[in-house]
A = this chain, B = another copy of it.
Amino acid sequence: MANEDIYTFSEAFPMKGGDGIHSYTLNSNLQGNGVIAAKKLITESIAEKLDIKIFSSLNICRIADLGCSVGPNTFFAVQNIVDAVKFKYKNLGLDSQIPEFHAFFNDHVANDFNTLFTSLPPNREYHAAGVPGSFYSKLFPNSLLHIVNCSFSCHWLSKVPKEVIDKSSSAWNKGRIHYANAPDAVVKAFEAQYQKDMDSFLCLRAQEIVHGGLLVIFSPSRPSGTSHSQSAYNMLVDALSPCLMDLVKKGVVDEKKVDSFNIPVFHFSPEELTQAVDRTGYFSIEEIKELPLTANGTLSLEQLSLHIRAIVELSVKANFGEEILDELFDLYLKKLQELSFNFNSENSINVFAILKRK
């Protein structure tokens, strides 16, 4: 238990807390669009796939949001599930039997739970609890949870594969902080880490979720048939590499620091998720869909740059120092403009999956 204690700060990758100009609270609308897009699918799945008998005689519905960060997306996600369960009861003519709701908000111990707690919706219809710890460790007792949500968080790996920052390894990822444009050995190291982590994630959740309970996975994904280097989410992360190398050339950043820093994300494809579910065997896939991104037209490159900054700022700061942040993200915005970066149906999807605990 308490495996999160083995995570170093750089591996925990907390989102930026508080509510300042670069905070995750104010710069998470890309995820927010995703949550809204998934709302209808979750409501339908709960209506069709969930047996309300799992709430047992105590009549309590226990929900967890894993990788919740600091809001407001996590509050929308949880309310969405609450609404869907209530809707189901109403449709069954069981208005008077709607259960009590207990919502568990989970993220790394380094997450800003103080901000999360002070921004809890005042008129919420659930009892709230915060659960600190990596979702690659067991977080709850056996058979506690009925509906678990994991939005925009399962693509974070438990750690950077050690060989990619090992100078003596053939998978050393020199001069890059991501695998998108890296040699094959680097990609393989990230794939292996993803497989290990996703298997571990599914096995742990299988213990915590009651039989018949649902696990919703909603993640930035790589479309089937799209290469790692052409996947939009990968391009977004990888675009930081040349910016950091520009700062190396200017003498602002030590090259060794770039060589020893990778961002532990893996944008898995729907197939790779299906394979992990089949491999572990605890869940059935009730639904798996590729959802197009609706972010274009609503997010400018400036906003996108702020969004990525909110996600990586704390870890970039811890590795490279605070003083490079503004210059780095100025370069980063220029890089996105230079690439004429845009999301389109070939390069970007989110994967939405509803799994049911067998």
Residues of A near any B CB (own CB < 8 A): 1-2, 5, 58, 60, 100-102, 104, 109-110, 112-114, 117-118, 120-133, 138-144
**11 A-B pairs whose Cβ atoms sit less than 8 Å apart in the complex:** A1-B124, A2-B123, A58-B143, A100-B141, A100-B142, A109-B117, A109-B118, A112-B114, A127-B138, A127-B141, A128-B133
Q: In this complex, what residue of B is CB-closest to A117? A: B132
User: Do A60 and B142 have beta carbons less than 8 Å apart?
Assistant: yes
Query: Residue of B at shortest CB range from A101?
Result: B141
Our pick among B110, B122, B124, B129 for the contact of A129 (Cβ within 8 Å) is B129
Which residue on chain B has the smallest CB distance to residue A61? Answer: B141
Q: Which among B118, B122, B127 is the interface contact of A139 at CB below 8 angstroms?
A: B127
Which residues from chain B contact A133 at a C-beta distance below 8 Å? 128
Find out whether the CB atom of A102 lies under 8 angstroms from the CB atom of B144.
yes
A131 touches B132 (CB 8 A): no
A2 with B120: in contact, given A60-B141, A114-B113, A141-B60 (CB under 8 Å)?
yes
CB pair B140–A102 under 8 Å, yes or no, is yes
Given contacts A102-B144, A130-B113, contact A122 B2 (CB under 8 A): yes
Inter-chain contact B141/A2, CB cutoff 8 Å: no
Contacts of A1 on B, CB cut-off 8 Å? 123-127
Most chain B CB neighbours (cut-off 10 Å) among A120, A123, A130: A130
CA–CA, A198 and B123, complex, Å: 25
The 4 A-B residue pairs whose C-beta atoms are closest, nearest first, are A117-B132, A100-B141, A130-B130, A129-B129
Given A58-B142, A60-B144, A141-B102, A117 contacting B128 (CB threshold 8 A): no
Contacts of A60 in B (CB 8 A): 141-142, 144
Contact A120-B132, Cβ < 8 Å, known A112-B114, A113-B114: yes
- Residues on the B chain within 8 Å of A104, using CB: 129
Least CB separation from A100: chain B residue = B141
Q: Shortest CB–CB separation between residue A96 and chain B, in angstroms?
A: 15
Provide the residues of chain B in CB contact with A121, threshold 8 Å. Answer: 2
Q: Is the CB of A131 within 8 A of B128?
A: yes
User: A132 and B128: CB pair below 8 A?
Assistant: yes
Whether A129 contacts B127 by the Cβ 8 Å rule is no
How long is the Cα–Cα vector from A128 to B110 in the complex, in angstroms? 15
**A122 CA to B110 CA in the complex, in Å?**
14
B residues near A101, Cβ cutoff 8 Å = 141
| Chain B hits for A100, CB < 8 A | 141-142
Bound complex: CA A139 to CA B120 (Å): 14
New A-B pairs, 6, CB < 8 Å, besides A113-B130, A120-B132, A129-B129: A2-B121, A2-B122, A58-B143, A60-B142, A109-B120, A117-B132
Q: How far is the CA of A294 from the CA of B117 in the complex (A)?
A: 36
Q: Kindly provide the distance from the CB of A105 to the nearest chain B CB, expressed in whole angstroms.
A: 9
Give A128 to B144 CA distance when docked, in angstroms. Answer: 13
Chain B nearest CB: distance from A132 CB in Å? 4
Q: Are B122 and A5 in contact (CB under 8 A)?
A: yes
- How far does the Cβ of A25 sit from chain B's closest Cβ, in whole Å? 15
A130 and B127 CA atoms in complex are apart in Å by 11
Residue among A121, A122, A125 facing the most chain B CB atoms (10 A cut-off)? A122
Alpha-carbon separation in the docked complex, A305 to B133 (Å): 36
Q: Which residues of B contact A118 (CB under 8 A)?
A: 109-110
A109 and chain B: residue at smallest CB distance: B117
